[in-house]
């Protein structure tokens, strides 16, 4: 199983990224971040936000599928 399969997301999939205040920001899943392989680290993923096309590395647990 590769990292994409283990995350449950596919490259290009529309997702929500949950912010600290509980709000959701629309984004696209880009792929797993290399930091996930560090011992004891939280799995992370790259996303590209829809609203301003910026990219970010976010904890995988803050990403949920977006049905659109």
* pLDDT tens-place string over residues 34-65: 764 556 778 899 999 999 999 999 999 999 99
Q: The whole model's pTM is what?
A: 0.81
Q: What residues contact residue 54 under an 8 Å CB cut-off, 6+ apart?
A: 48
First to last CA, the chain: 27
Please name the fold of domain 3-65: SH3 type barrels. (2.30.30)
Count of CB atoms situated within 10 Å of the CB of 6 = 12
Portion of the chain with pLDDT greater than 90, in percent: 69
CA distance 51 to 3: 27
């Amino acid at each position: 199983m590769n990292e994409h399969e283990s995350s449950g997301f596919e490259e290009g999939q529309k997702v929500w990224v949950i912010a600290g205040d509980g709000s959701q920001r629309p984004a696209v899943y880009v792929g797993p971040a290399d930091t996930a392989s560090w011992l004891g680290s939280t799995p992370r993923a790259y996303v590209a936000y829809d609203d301003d096309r910026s990219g970010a590395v976010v904890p995988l647990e803050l990403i949920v599928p977006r049905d659109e």
